[in-house]
Structure 1
């Protein structure tokens, strides 16, 4: 009961802060729904019926073209989209196993859905602390129905393979006849690093999943893109799994109305991330992974105990009205903990001097307590 009271108090403290460093500014439900209503009216939006309708199909075509694919389908969730994609490739190859990184969402956060629902076997590919590269695929001793590759890898601090490494992986997969499926939940944020079009990045992947809300601000949802026959089969599985909702208009509108604006701001968010990371690394007791961020995300490691760091964060929130980070988790190194930084528009107006002062004060309070 005491723990619940503390968390409730911290929730109220977070809400009271004028600035939250992580992520994009978030409107209230009422503000979001009003914006959706205004946008839908000005764009003559009509409801889709079980995925059929001019509005949803136009948006699917827009995303497919951006990714350089023939077709795309909007789905309620990324979990469903990825499960469908992996199952289709394994079914076509008549192999019940697929390759996946140890940090993949499919392994860590989906309650073994690929096993429970599709009776598939996930083969871990590559080193757990870096992205999959060509040598990892070559080292697999058995054929795979497909290989799922996450760009960027969230659990690795948003790491990406270098462009030459990615191209080598694509070439190796093509030579071995292994379909590549991209977990592109945050694909939109890779363009700033690669300086390539989304179609170039997705080229060589037989299917691509992208989130409809991560980085875009939609309510929920995902899109799965690929060749026309693949998407036709994906729509069949969408129906089988109960994802072919009577209408997905609210989710599509919430994504479509912000789509172009959010994509346009991601370059600025990445540049702000580079500056922020460089700033934080000047403070004793803080380290960044990767040392040079590759997207507008990184992991910050603190030489401090979790309770002391949370108390210091709360003090700064009360005194200055800035919420520095959310959750902390322990690391394999005793005495260290980490958190994820995801850089959105909330940090574009803050200077490095402000950041430096806040985190210097944070570590100063922790060290004073020790």
Structure 2
């Protein structure tokens, strides 16, 4: 019998050990922690984006990324739509480039087209990061080029440092503004061994998430020069993003921020060690073979419904939650899942983890649905 989504959520909640991600406190636990942090730091509410907590956090992110100015927004969708809209306005060209698997294409209901009447041009191969040669192959003029670091849909892959610099040079050569989709920029520094400012150097605007990787309730930060951010604040109001109080989102992000960044090196090392162990198991493959961030895509030589049934069985019997959602892969009969390595796996060795993946693939082959 196949479990419903609600039953699966309950199984995950009841699991004593969860492999994917960072520890996730309950709403009550999180709100108590935020309240204590606010009291310890004498936090006052902002009012429509004006306030010491908000301005101080914006400045902290701007300094970290080496950009003159920053603005906090309630969502990354809003931040990136505003960025591409402003670059299109500035160049008087309603066309921009983006990776074929960009969030703007796959997860936002074509908002840039429906709301802003912009034309998105896919650049590069969906299975690999965007390269200078990919931009060279696009003969149309572009208002801006949206570069995702890392490519989530390709298992968290990044271009090499040399490839990234070549892409920056090519965009400058063609006078195309560069915008970074840095939803997972925080996870990228460990691979490059550079500062966040060095990675962001050459990008005219940058978006970073305050919940992906960081663990805030919600929110995003958009960065650029002073004129760009002043204009972004106008667009934020136009889009209904200047909420009366943004302090709950900012406080939750600020509370977690430094500790999460400090864990990223260890998370990458743990992901690489786990990937090596997983690839020794028959019926399992990992992309990329050596993770470049603390995430990877795991492929199973089994139908996705059977893998999820096996996962549910392990959760019921062992109280271990091994993986999240499993989907059909493009190769018939194979399935895939994304595994994000956070502090949950930092506390567990391969000897403690790999037997559950072996059981997952073994059970999935014996289950009849």
TM bin, normalised by shorter chain, reads: over 0.9
Structure 2 partner of 1:80: 78
Shift of 1:103: 0.2
Quick one: distance in 2 between partners of 1:363 and 1:245?
47
Structure 1 partner of 2:146: 148
Quick one: distance in 2 between partners of 1:273 and 1:176?
37
1:340 maps to 2:338: yes
Match of 1:235 among 233, 236, 258: 233
Deviations 1:163-203 (A, max 9, x none): 10000000111111100000000100001100000000000
Deviations 1:232-251 (A, max 9, x none): 00000001000011110000
Structure 2 partner of 1:135: 133
Quick one: distance in 2 between partners of 1:163 and 1:221?
28
Match of 2:292 among 291, 294, 316: 294
Deviations 1:12-43 (A, max 9, x none): 21111011111110111111111111111111
Is the Cα contact below 8 Å between 2:75 and 2:218 reproduced in 1?
A: yes
Which sits farther off after the overlay, 323-332 or 94-103? 323-332
Shift of 1:307: 2.1
Quick one: distance in 2 between partners of 1:320 and 1:112?
42
Quick one: distance in 2 between partners of 1:116 and 1:12?
37
How is 1:348-367 mapped onto 2 (pairs within 5 angstroms)?
348-367=346-365
Quick one: distance in 2 between partners of 1:223 and 1:325?
30
Shift of 1:70: 0.1
Two-structure CA RMSD over aligned residues (Å): 1.2
Deviations 1:244-300 (A, max 9, x none): 111100000000011101100111111110011111100011000111100000100
Quick one: distance in 2 between partners of 1:256 and 1:346?
21
How is 1:19-34 mapped onto 2 (pairs within 5 angstroms)?
19-34=17-32
**TM-score normalised by length of structure 1:** 0.97
Deviations 1:311-339 (A, max 9, x none): 21112112221101111111211000100
Quick one: distance in 2 between partners of 1:369 and 1:78?
40
Structure 2 partner of 1:172: 170
Quick one: distance in 2 between partners of 1:26 and 1:293?
23
Structure 1 partner of 2:261: 263
Structure 2 partner of 1:12: 10
Helix, strand or coil for the counterpart of 1:257?
helix
Helix, strand or coil for the counterpart of 2:337?
strand
Quick one: distance in 1 between partners of 2:259 and 2:265?
12
Shift of 1:361: 1.5
Quick one: distance in 1 between partners of 2:68 and 2:360?
50
Q: Which segments of 5 or more consecutive residues in structure 1 lack a partner in the other structure?
A: none
Quick one: distance in 1 between partners of 2:350 and 2:77?
37
Quick one: distance in 1 between partners of 2:6 and 2:60?
42
Match of 2:36 among 35, 38, 41: 38
Q: Which segments of 5 or more consecutive residues in structure 2 lack a partner in the other structure?
A: none
**TM-score normalised by length of structure 2:** 0.98
1:308 maps to 2:306: yes
Is the Cα contact below 8 Å between 2:324 and 2:339 reproduced in 1?
A: no
Quick one: distance in 1 between partners of 2:224 and 2:7?
46
Quick one: distance in 2 between partners of 1:33 and 1:369?
42
Shift of 1:369: 4.2
1:206 maps to 2:209: no
Quick one: distance in 2 between partners of 1:240 and 1:6?
40
Which sits farther off after the overlay, 68-77 or 38-47? 38-47
Is the Cα contact below 8 Å between 2:88 and 2:96 reproduced in 1?
A: yes
Shift of 1:363: 1.7
Is the Cα contact below 8 Å between 2:156 and 2:291 reproduced in 1?
A: yes
Quick one: distance in 2 between partners of 1:120 and 1:80?
15
Quick one: distance in 2 between partners of 1:367 and 1:75?
46
